[in-house]
Amino acid sequence: MKSSKHIPQLTVDCVIFGFHHKKLKLILSKLKLEKDIYALPGGFVLQEEDIEDAAKRVLFERTGIEDVYLEELGTFGRANRISDEDFQLFSHLAKELYPDVEPPINEKNQKMRLVSIAYYALVDFEKVIPKKIDLDESCDWYDSQDLPHMIFDHREMAEKGLEVLRDNLDKKLLFNNLLSETFTMRELQELYETVYDKPFPANNFQKKILDLNILERLDKKFTGAKSKAPYLYRLKSNLSNKG
Amino acid sequence: MKSSKHIPQLTVDCVIFGFHHKKLKLILSKLKLEKDIYALPGGFVLQEEDIEDAAKRVLFERTGIEDVYLEELGTFGRANRISDEDFQLFSHLAKELYPDVEPPINEKNQKMRLVSIAYYALVDFEKVIPKKIDLDESCDWYDSQDLPHMIFDHREMAEKGLEVLRDNLDKKLLFNNLLSETFTMRELQELYETVYDKPFPANNFQKKILDLNILERLDKKFTGAKSKAPYLYRLKSNLSNKG
DNA sequence: AAGTCATTTTCTAAAAAATAGAAAATCAAA
DNA sequence: TTTGATTTTCTATTTTTTAGAAAATGACTT
C-alpha cells in the first residue's frame, strides 16, 4: 500500500535567492529528462506539518542551512497550471524514483490538480552549495535575469519572487540576509543596484543607510587595493530578521 | 455516494470590506450554534475551478455583486488551526445542512486538516446587502475595530486583511472601490483617516489627491448645509482597478 | 619621503516634497 | 447684508532628497 502522509493536492515551492558577483541568483534543479527543463525546489506538505515548515524542510534539504529568511509569495493554483505535457514528463520521472509515494492521479487515472504555495527565501550565497535530489540531474545557482525553461508555472513564481523582493528589500530592511555576516558599504550598494536595477550614488546611499542607525561599524577591510580601505559593517545584533 | 467535486482539504475565505459612517466594516455570518460564533464567508474550491474563481463565487453568493476588487492575503494552513471544539461545532452543523457534501473527515473518522486561502475584497457598502446561507443565523456588516468571537483563525485573517489594506489603499490607489461612484473630497479624506487612523489636514490632502491627476471633477453637491458646497469627483474612467 | 591615483567618507549646497499657516470663496440661514 | 461653517486655493516654512565639492586614505611610483 502506498503511503499518503502528505496532503494529496498541496505542494510548496521555494524561490531561494542569493547574491553573487553583482547578480541576483536563485536555485534551480535540472530535471532528469530528455529536454532541458528546470524546476524550483519543492515538495508535498505532510499531513501534520505546517506549510511553512514544509518550505523550511525543502530549504534545508537543498541548502543545508536553517534559520533562513522565508516569506510566502502566494498561491499558485490555476486549474490548468500543469500542462498535460509537463504532467506526463514529471509523473513518469516521479513514479520511477518514488514508487512508494502516492502520485497525483485520481480514481480515473487522470492527472490530479495540484495547488502550490510559493515562498521566497534569502540566503548567504557563500554559505550554500545547492544539493540535488533523486529527480535532479543537477542543482545549481542561476541568474534571475536569465532563467532557463521552467516546468509548470515555476517561472511565474520566480518572477513573483523578484517582484516581492523589490517591494520588501528596503521597506523591511532584508539586505543582511543576502550578504555575509560583515560587509562593506559598497557591497550593500551593489546589492541595491542589482535588485532595483538603477545606480545609487555612493555619498547619499551611505548617508541613507547610516541614518537608519541599524549598522555597527567594525574594522576596516584592507585588500591591498591602492585606494582608501572601506569600513566593514554588521547589522546590530538585536535586529536580525529571520522569516 | 457523497459528491467530491471539491478539493478535499482546500477552502477559501473572504474578508469583504465596506466603508460606512466613518467606519471600516466587514461581512460576518453568525453561525447557527448555541454560542455566539461568527465566521468569514468562505467555501470549498471545486476541482475544475481556479482558486480566485472560488473566492469570486463566494463573494457573489454573499453580496450579489461581481467585478469586485479582490486580492489574495495569503495561506492560513497551520496544522492545528482548527481546534477540536470548533471542529465539533462546525462539522455537526455542516453534516445536518449539507448531507451530500463530502465532510472533512479521514478514513479513521478523525478531523481532516484544512488549508484556507484568504482573500480580501473591497465593495461599495451601499450596493451590498449581506446574504446569509444555510449555515447562518444571520449575516451582516461588523465594525472591523470591534470584532466578535470568530471561528477557526478567521480573526487572524481579518487582521491580515486590515494590514494589507493599509499597505495598499494609497500605494495602489484602491479608494474608489470602497466609495460610491461619485464622492466628495471630504468623504475620501474620511476613508483615509479611518484606514490609517490619523488626521489628514484638508488643504494638503486635497492637493495630494488632485496632483495625482486621476480624478475628474463633476458638479457640486448641494445638501442644504449652510456652508460652501463641495465638488463631487469620480475616478477617471480609464483607471478602474478591479481584481 | 613626496607625489599619484582610485576610492571612500564627510561636508555643503541646491532642489524637491511634505507640512503648516493664511486667506479667499461660498452656501444657507438669520 | 451679515454670519458661521466649510471648502478651496495660495503662500510660507520645514523636512527630506539629491547633487556637488572636498577631504581622507592606502598602496604604489618616483
What confidence tens digit (pLDDT) does each residue in B162-203 have? Answer: 999 999 999 999 999 999 999 999 999 999 999 999 999 999
Given a cut of 90, is residue A232 above it in pLDDT?
yes
How many beta-carbon pairs under 8 angstroms link A with B? 51
In whole angstroms, C4 C1' to A169 CA is: 40
What single string gives the DSSP state of each residue in chain B? --B--EEEEEEEEEEEEEEETTEEEEEEEEESSSS--EE-SEEEEETTS-HHHHHHHHHHHHHS--S-EEEEEEEE--TT-S-HHHHHHHHHHHHHH-TTBPPSB-TTSPBPP-EEEEEEEE--GGG------TTEEEEEEEETTS---BSTTHHHHHHHHHHHHHHHHHHTT-GGGGS-SSEEHHHHHHHHHHHHTS---HHHHHHHHHHHT-EEEEEE---S-SSPPPEEEEE-GGG----
Q: Quick check: helix, strand or coil at residue A38?
A: strand
Model confidence at A1, pLDDT cuts 50, 70, 90, reads: very low
Residue B142 phi, psi dihedral angles, 5° rounding: -135, 145
Instruction: Inspect the interface and report whether the beta carbons of B117 and A50 lie closer than 8 Å.
Output: no
Burial of A155 (0-12, 13-18, 19+ CB in 10 A): middle
Q: If you average pLDDT over every residue of chain B, what do you get?
A: 94
Instruction: Inspect the interface and report whether the beta carbons of B113 and A77 lie closer than 8 Å.
Output: no
Other residues' Cβ atoms within 10 Å of the Cβ of residue B234: 15
Tell me the average pLDDT across A17-25.
98
Nearest chain B residue to A71 by CA: give it.
B74
CATH architecture of the domain with residue range B180-239: Orthogonal Bundle (1.10)
Question: How high is the pLDDT of residue B3?
Answer: 46
| Domain B6-171 of CATH type 3.90.79.10 | yes
The span from the CA of B102 to the CA of B174, in Å, is 38
| Contact with chain A for residue B166, Cβ under 8 A | no
The span from the CA of B125 to the CA of A197, in Å, is 42
Instruction: Inspect the interface and report whether the beta carbons of B10 and A10 lie closer than 8 Å.
Output: yes
Question: Given A7, A48, A79, which is nearest B49 (Cβ)?
Answer: A79
Under a CB-based contact definition with an 8 Å cutoff, are residues B121 and B178 in contact?
no
Burial of A230 (0-12, 13-18, 19+ CB in 10 A): middle
Q: What pTM was estimated for this model as a whole?
A: 0.95
pLDDT in tens, A62-94: 999 999 999 999 999 999 999 999 998 988 898
pLDDT in tens, A124-163: 999 999 999 999 999 999 999 999 999 999 999 999 999 9
Q: Which residue(s) pair with B14 in the sheet? A: B119
Q: Which of B7, B70, B111 to mutate to test the interface with A (most CBs of A within 10 A)?
A: B7
Where are the domains positioned within chain A?
6-171, 180-239
The span from the CA of B229 to the CA of B221, in Å, is 6
With a 7 Å cutoff on the CB, does B207 touch strand D?
Answer: yes
Question: How high is the pLDDT of residue A2?
Answer: 47
| Contact with chain A for residue B75, Cβ under 8 A | yes
Question: How high is the pLDDT of residue B1?
Answer: 41
Given a cut of 90, is residue B96 above it in pLDDT?
no
The span from the CA of A77 to the CA of A72, in Å, is 14
